[in-house]
Amino acid sequence: MLPDNETRINDSAELWLDQAVTRYESDSSRLLQILHEVQERFGHISQQATGILAEKLDIPRARIESVASFYSFLHLKPHGEYRVLFSDNITDRMLGSEALMEQMCQLLWLQPGKVSEDGLVSINTTSCTGMCDQGPAMLVNGRAITRLSHQRVQEIAQLIRNRTPLADWPADFFRVEDNIRRSGLLLGNTLAYGEVLHAAVTAGAQQIVEVVKASGLRGRGGAGFPTGQKWEACRNAPGKEHYVVCNADEGEPGTFKDRVLLTRQADLVFEGMTLCALAVGASKGFLYLRGEYRYLLEPLHAVLQRRRDSNLLGISILGKPGFDFDIEIHLGAGAYICGEESALIESLEGKRGVPRSRPPFPVTHGYMQQPTAVDNVETFCQAALAVQMGAEKYRAIGTEKSSGSKLVSVSGDCAYPGIYEYPFGVTVREILQDCGAVNTRAVQISGPSGVCVPENEFNRKLGFEDLPTAGAFMVFDDSRDMFEVARNYVHFFAHESCGFCTPCRVGTSMLKQTMDKIANGHGTKHDLREIDKLDRVLQNTSHCGLGRTACNPVLHTLKHFRPAYENRLKSLDFKPAFDLDGSLARARQMTGRDDAGAHLKETE
Amino acid sequence: MSKKLRVATTSLAGCFGCHMSFLDIDERLLTLLDLVEFDRSPINDIKHCGPCDIGIIEGGVCNAENVHVLREFRKNCKIIIAIGACAINGGLPAQRNHLDLASCLTEVYLTEPGLAHGHIPNDPELPLPLDKVHPLYEVVKIDYYIPGCPPSGDAIWKFLTDLIAGRTPELGHGLIKYD
């Protein structure tokens, strides 16, 4: 790496680093959290800071650099006093994010991805920040800003030029709405905090497992594994320690229900985690909060503290001897792959978020190779509700194989984007009616890795029998080009591939190149066949689900919206991927030649 | 076998390493000659390719001449095989892709100390360099790929004998290598 031309870290900075490391008990498995703090304090992780950390944590510099370089919110080089990231989900684009970013670049005299010469600011894009119902959105030094407009972008550029500290920016910029449009048993619950736990402590661990099993509750992160079965397996797995992990790394573009749950139902989330701890015999829990939701950290810490003060966390919870449990919040740093449970655990251990080989599964070999129950935010809430209501009553809601309710994050072309709670079994059409969508062409269910549902399938139902979902529900009306939707998703996967296995690292990039080739007007039928081949390689040979699902957007849109692709194709059998004659222009200019040999025809 | 297959080979922006590896099939070259006839190839120095069954191409595309040769092969060969890292991905020559071509030429021919009256060569005989080095598949349709830098003689032998015998070539474990 090139030496960074910064001023040397002074004594007070070194003291600060020392204190930071001490706060984390010089534990190298907390590396990611330490790096987060260094990044927040200094704007980047300098070579010098790396050296000091390596020494104090007694790990090689290379390990620190390898971790820091994995996460897109951590920087090893100065990245500007103000680091601006525009959320680049298709829903942000549909609300005009591209023009806004261009405007901001012009206002600040800057190219995307570059740091301004005075080191003041950098502007770039980032994957969906989970503000799809109030976009376009951006992050400035990790803080979320919503409802961007030309007016707002102008104001932000001015604040940056004046070097106004982020704390003094108008509070309205950072306002995040909950936009709850329809409540059900979860969002409408009137439970006092601690209520479920009181009852459960009396009933005991075995009873919790039995009720959750009998309730038919299945994981709400998308895969739908039976929660009770998971808890039972974790409980029965031998190990020195057992752990509970709440997956709040809500990275699937178009999903934002966990953000709302952590804002409005944080107690229920922690209550569910504590129930799980009692059930599996864990004394330590983690909430893995995605870096984009950094602003929730302080409020969540306050909730945890209140629960400790009420003896709902800590030693001998609610007076039950031996029931010791506490929760720590671990902040992610902009890596979609960490939503995959084994990658999440690697990240919790302070490593790069590369998915593990499974089996063994986390229930037997999870955090620190110990039995670990990893569940989604919503799952913990639903588990608490199931325990409170009783299995039979809970099971009566929803469908046979999908009991209970589901939060749906609605965004895109509709009048009322936001959070909708429905019993499982609701049809796509009902949701579209409720959210005021008209002339809908398609809905992307469960994000880019999910399913694209066209108009003639709007009677399909949400649930594990038909359309399993983590909650994303992106609506596209008939003005939208489904090819561009798929291309946006393909770019997303290429960006988020962790790079560990070749089929995914190379395959997602090749898929991106081919989609770009078609978008640039160089596509042919041959390229559609190549896409088909790539899809099969990705599906059959990728290490984890990211690669296996990366081709879904293309497969589904090719199936339902093939003309959107074909309209762009040249009718020829093959076309070069780039402008051949144009790529000689530079050499022509330098040599002053313009003879016949200095040109190439597009085809012969 | 009724008729010998015609095979042409060439190296574009490559190092001839794949051709050297091809020669590593050693005495099997004689067996091969019973099965195929060589058209344009460095082996016989034929300058242009006629109608062929198989075209084997090493190296990526870095200049206008590469484009012409590649097109000549595509026009004449029923099957085109991209062989080696450069043909498949651009390989080592593509390392220049992150540099601006104009500044490369300026540095090499104009500003480098020790150049007396340097000028950027502009003779029409010389092919112009493309601003980037490209893999073959971006310029013409490619039917098969043999990865490796270079692929081993055994891999090339297996691939060709499969193809000649009418089997779908399958390198499999041990023969398929990317380095």
Q: Are A66 and A31 in contact (CB under 8 A)?
A: no
Residue B3: predicted pLDDT: 81
Nearest CA-CA distance, residue B167 and chain A, Å: 19
- Report d(CA B21, CA B87) in Å as an integer: 15
The pLDDT tens digits of the residues spanning A113-155 come to 999 999 999 999 999 999 999 999 999 999 999 999 999 999 9
- For residue B81, the distance in angstroms to the closest alpha carbon of chain A comes to 16
Average pLDDT over residues B40-67: 95
Which of A586, A597, A600 minimises the CB distance to B131? Answer: A586
> Which residue of chain B is at minimal alpha-carbon distance from A591?
B122
What are residue B39's phi and psi, to 5 degrees?
Answer: -95, -150
Contact A584 B131 (CB under 8 A): yes
Helix (H, G, I), strand (E, B) or coil at B154: helix
Per residue in A527-551, pLDDT (tens digit) is 999 999 999 999 999 999 999 999 9
Q: How far apart are CA B115 and CA B128, in angstroms?
A: 21
What is the third-level CATH fold of A483-566? de novo design (two linked rop proteins) (1.20.1440)
CA A359/CA A416 separation, integer angstroms: 42
* The three-state (H, E, C) secondary structure of A77-124, written as one string: CCCCCEEEEEECCHHHHHCCHHHHHHHHHHHCCCCCCCECCCCCEEEE
CB A80 within 8 Å of CB A41: no
Contacting A with CB below 8 Å, chain B residues are 64, 67, 71, 75, 100-102, 105-106, 120-122, 124, 127-132, 134, 137-141, 178
- CA of B27 to nearest chain A CA: how many angstroms apart? 36
Q: Domain extents for chain A?
A: 11-68, 82-173, 182-395, 405-480, 483-566
How would residue A11 be classed by pLDDT, with cut points 50, 70 and 90? confident
**pLDDT score at A575:** 82
Compute the distance between CA of residue A234 and CA of residue A243 in angstroms, rounded to an integer.
9
Among A526, A528, A584, the strongest candidate for a mutation testing the B interface, having the largest count of B CBs within 10 A, is A584
Q: What is the mean pLDDT of residues A220-234?
A: 95
pLDDT of residue A438: 96
Residues of chain A contacting B138 with CB distance shorter than 8 Å: 576-578
Task: Identify all chain B residues contacting A589, using CB atoms and an 8 Å cutoff.
Answer: 102
Residue of B nearest to A579 (CA): B139
Contact check, Cβ <8 Å, A600/B129: no
Indicate yes or no: CB of B102 within 8 angstroms of CB of A589. Answer: yes
Per DSSP, A7 falls in state P
**Rounded Cα gap, residues A285 and A242, in angstroms:** 9
Two tokens, residue A322: 């031996």
Tokens 């984390």 label which residue? A24
Is A590 in contact with B64 (Cβ distance < 8 A)?
no
Q: Give per-residue pLDDT as tens, A470-521.
A: 999 999 999 999 999 999 999 999 999 999 999 999 999 999 999 999 999 8
> A502 to chain B: which residues are within 8 Å by CB?
178
Q: Which chain B residues contact residue A594 at CB under 8 A?
A: none
Q: Is the ipTM value over 0.90, yes or no?
A: no
Contact B64 A595 (CB under 8 A): no
Q: What is the pLDDT of residue A120?
A: 95
Residue A146, burial from CB neighbour count under 10 angstroms (0-12, 13-18, 19+): buried
| Tens-digit pLDDT profile for residues A235-251 | 999 999 999 999 999 99
Instruction: State whether A576 and B140 contact (CB < 8 Å).
Output: yes
Are the C-beta atoms of B146 and B152 separated by less than 8 Å?
Answer: no
Burial letters A436-456, b for 16+ CB under 10 A, else e: ebeebbbbbbbbbbbbbbbee
pLDDT at A4: 46
Reported as a single tens digit per residue, the pLDDT across A260-271 is 999 999 999 999
Q: What is the DSSP letter of A287?
A: E
Residues of A in contact with B101 (CB under 8 A): 586-587, 590
Using a CB-CB cut-off of 8 Å, the residues of chain A touching B129 are 587
Q: How far is A575 from chain B (nearest CA, A)?
A: 7
CA distance A514 to A478: 25
Q: What is the pLDDT of residues A165-187, one digit of tens each?
A: 999 999 999 999 999 999 999 99
Among A226, A370, A204, which Cα is nearest to A286's?
A370
A-B CB pairs within 8 A amount to: 63
A→B contacts (Cβ < 8 Å), by residue, are 502, 526, 573-574, 576-578, 580, 583-593, 595, 597-598, 600, 604
What's residue B178's pLDDT?
Answer: 83
Q: Say if the Cβ atoms of A578 and B138 lie within 8 Å.
A: yes
**Whole-angstrom Cα distance, residue A600 to residue B113?**
34
Q: pLDDT confidence of A577, banded at 50, 70, 90?
A: confident
Side chain identity at A458, as an amino acid letter? F
* N-term to C-term CA, chain B: 35
pLDDT category, A10, cuts 50, 70, 90?
confident
- Whether residue B124 and residue A591 make contact (CB cut-off 8 A), yes or no, is no
Interface touch B139/A580, C-beta < 8 Å = yes
Three-state SS letters, A536-572: HHHHHHCCCHHHHHCCHHHHHHHHHCHHHHHCCCCCC
Question: Looking up tokens 């534990």, which residue turns up?
Answer: A27
Domains A82-173 and A483-566 agree in fold? no
Higher pLDDT, A415 or A577: A415
Q: CA A204 to CA A588: how far, in whole Å?
A: 81
pLDDT at A559 over 60: yes
- Report pLDDT digits (tens) over B77-134: 999 999 999 999 999 999 999 999 999 999 889 888 877 678 899 999 999 999 999 9
The CATH architecture that domain A82-173 belongs to is 3-Layer(aba) Sandwich (3.40)
Q: How far is B129 from chain A (nearest CA, A)?
A: 6
Q: What is the pLDDT of residues A335-359, one digit of tens each?
A: 999 999 999 999 999 999 999 998 9
Report the topology of domain B5-96+130-165.
Rossmann fold (3.40.50)
Helix then strand count (H, E) for chain B reads 6, 7
> What is the pLDDT confidence band of residue A95, given thresholds at 50, 70 and 90?
very high
Residue A595 pLDDT: 93
Containing B57, the helix (H) or strand (E) segment is strand B52-58
Task: Tell me how close the Cα of A354 comes to any Cα of chain B, in angstroms.
Answer: 22
Residue B129 has its nearest CB partner, among A578, A587, A600, at A587
3-state secondary structure A151-216: HHHHHHHHHHHCCCCHHHCCHHHHCCCCCEEECCCCCCCCCCCCHHHHHHHHHCHHHHHHHHHHHC
Confidence (pLDDT) at A563: 87
Residue A5's pLDDT band (cuts 50, 70, 90):
very low
CA distance A475 to A417: 9
In this prediction, residues A581-603 reach a mean pLDDT of 92
Facing residue for A593 by CB, picked from B67, B122, B141: B122
Task: Check CB contact under 8 Å for B124 and A595.
Answer: yes
Q: Angle A369-A371-A377 (CA atoms, 0-180°, nearest 5)?
A: 110
Please state, for a pLDDT cut of 90, what percent of chain A lies above it: 92
Average pLDDT over residues A95-103: 97
pLDDT tens for A27-56 read 999 999 999 999 999 999 999 999 999 999
Q: Which residues of B touch A595 (CB under 8 A)?
A: 124
Query: Are B75 and A576 in contact (CB < 8 Å)?
Result: no
Q: Which CATH number does A405-480 carry? A: 3.10.20.600
CA distance B39 to B10: 10
Is A273 strand, coil or helix? helix
pLDDT band at A8 (very low <50, low <70, confident <90, very high): low
| CB within 8 Å: B64 and A598 | yes
CATH architecture, domain defined by A182-395: 3-Layer(aba) Sandwich (3.40)
Q: Which of B120, B129, B138 is nearest residue A576 as measured by Cβ atoms?
A: B138
- What percent of chain A shows pLDDT beyond 70? 98
